Structure formats: C-alpha cells, structure tokens
Structure 1
C-alpha cells in the first residue's frame, strides 16, 4: 500500500497557483486574502518550500474564486 500525501501538488499545478498569487494580492479588496497571497509569494522564494495542506487548499480556493468571478479589470471581489 502506498501513502498518498494530501498536500501533494504536481509541480505544474503549484506553478500555476503561484503564478496567480500576485494577482490575488494586488486585486483583492479584502485584507486577509491579500496578506495570505503576499505571504505565499514570499515563502515560495525559499529553496525547497512546499505549501502545507491548508495553504494548498486555500491557494486552490483563491485561484478558483478568481476565475469564477472572472476578473476583467473591474471592481470585483476575489472572495465573497
């Protein structure tokens, strides 16, 4: 039996999530998502950094919300 780590994210998914974090940090109208995204961007610069299970889950949610609300440069909340 193999152990599947729940915090595992393929490199391409993690790269995609990290790509969108600066946009979330810049465009979010709420302080918490803004500071979370900024923190993730800073942490991701560390050698060997991998997000925790909670961080990965929140990153997926924020990026998903970004696309659900279809940011087009207007005044759009990233989170409801």
Structure 2
C-alpha cells in the first residue's frame, strides 16, 4: 500500500464518532469502540489491517448517508 494516498489517522478519527453511531452489527460496533478507546493512547497508530478497516468503515458511512448524491444538492447561481 502506498501510504501517501491513504487518509491520515487524524482524518479518519474526525469521522469516527459517526462511524461508532452508524455501526450496524455487534462486531463492527465493537471494533469501532475499540479503535475509539485505543486512539486515546499516546502515540497510538493503527496496524495496516486496522487502518484498512477504518477507511472502509468511514467510506461506508458516507456512502450510506447519501450526502451530496447529485447535482440537485446545491442550487445553481445564475447571473
């Protein structure tokens, strides 16, 4: 994996409270809460596998929310 193209842990953690609330099953909820707890430790960094799962969970939250699905989300400004 090329780490230059991956979102930083800080970027993922910004969305993490939403991920915790949106977790649909027991495993996902447990993983999300575990990450939230671990992230409070000084100098904590997720393993590559955790980072990949975190990215997937954040992506799923925003994909499922439906925010900004189309061009109708914003009115066009015409002169």
TM-score by length of 2: 0.69
Q: Unaligned stretches of 5+ in structure 2?
A: 68-79
Gaps of at least 5 residues in structure 1 are 1-5, 73-80
On the 8 A contact 2:12/2:58 being kept in 1, the answer is: yes
Q: Post-superposition shift, 1:19?
A: 1.8
Report the counterpart of residue 32 of structure 2 in structure 1: 37
Please identify the structure whose Cα radius of gyration is greater: 2
Structure 2 distance, partners of 1:16, 1:9, is: 13
Cα-Cα RMSD: 2.4
Partner deviation per Cα, 1:55-75 (whole Å, 9 max, x = no partner) = 000000000011111167xxx
CA distance in 2, matches of 1:58, 1:39: 13
Count the aligned residue pairs.
Answer: 66
Is structure 2 residue 54 aligned with structure 1 residue 59?
yes
2:8 to 13, 18, 31: 13
